Structure 1
Amino acid sequence: MELESHLVSDTRSESLVRACRTTVGDDLRSVTYFTPDRYEQLYLRSDLEADADLAGFVEHETDGFHARTAYKGSELGNYQYTVRAFDQGYMTRVTVADSGVFVTTDGLTLRRSEELASTLGELLQSE
């Protein structure tokens, strides 16, 4: 897994971060864009340390690309997004064909997670 400094354009990066800030507000911790083999952290809140194992997170989150096909046709419908709960926050992952975003937050309601996933999905589809 390779860290890229400009995997997405500045305009695209700003659009994704702005959408997350609008939906999540001050609870937003980080925004990371990824593909099956590269990633770029687009935002990290200023009070947080940049010492997270992003490569490890991204490696695990690329499973989202497989989830889209693994759950296709299930009785639950098509896979949309994943929310993970941790002791000190939440992660929301959205993937489309060959790109994805995961967002970490302090707090997250079900309504906000749905709004966040829907917005990110639309932005990723428009690439």
Structure 2
Amino acid sequence: MESELLSDEQAEHIVTTARTATGDSLRSVTYFTRSDFDQLYLREDLERDADLNTFVGHEWRGYRETQNAYQNSELGRYKFTVRAFENGYLLRVAADRKGVLITTDGLSMQSYEEIAEALQRMLAEDSGQ
């Protein structure tokens, strides 16, 4: 899928990172900013009927609320979110102005941690942080 928010190279890098880490468990990859999003990948056996506008909006607000709520937590700095659903899992990795949502079939927590770390590095490199 072509992205309007990223270069083809950046979009491909995100999808390749997700595919490499998840294999056939990867369901979808969506890149988002504060005001827009692009679905970069959707597995062939899935319907293209999801309301991504509402979904991404909720995840963006959720990221901001989580950042604020846990900023002084003894658990340390917030890193990423994994949500469990009836038909799969969602991984949200975000930075101040952008983020990535990945949906998968089941993976180990270690796999989600590895994917999140790789995506966090990419988001930081893209920002020049």
Answer yes or no: same fold by TM over 0.5: yes
2:64 and 2:42 map into 1 onto residues whose CA distance is 24
User: What are structure 2's unaligned runs of at least 5 residues?
Assistant: none
2:46 and 2:38 map into 1 onto residues whose CA distance is 17
Runs of 4+ more than 3 Å apart = none
Displacement of 1:24 in angstroms is 0.5
Alignment map for 1:2-21 (pairs within 5 Å)? 5-21=3-19
2:69 and 2:10 map into 1 onto residues whose CA distance is 29
1:105 maps to a residue whose letter is T
Quote the residue 1:65 is aligned against: 64
Quote the residue 2:111 is aligned against: 112
Alignment map for 1:16-95 (pairs within 5 Å)? 16-63=14-61, 64-95=63-94
What is the TM-score of this pair, normalised by structure 2?
Answer: 0.91
1:31-56, Cα deviation, whole Å (9 max, x unpaired): 00001110000000111111111111
What is the TM-score of this pair, normalised by structure 1?
Answer: 0.93
1:44 maps to a residue whose letter is L
2:59 and 2:112 map into 1 onto residues whose CA distance is 17
1:40 maps to a residue whose letter is D
Range moving further from structure 2, 92-101 or 60-69: 60-69
Q: Percent identity?
A: 51
1:84 and 1:42 map into 2 onto residues whose CA distance is 20
1:44-83, Cα deviation, whole Å (9 max, x unpaired): 0111111111111101100213422331121111110000
1:10 and 1:20 map into 2 onto residues whose CA distance is 15
1:24 maps to a residue whose letter is T
2:114 and 2:95 map into 1 onto residues whose CA distance is 16
Displacement of 1:5 in angstroms is 4.6
2:106 and 2:40 map into 1 onto residues whose CA distance is 20
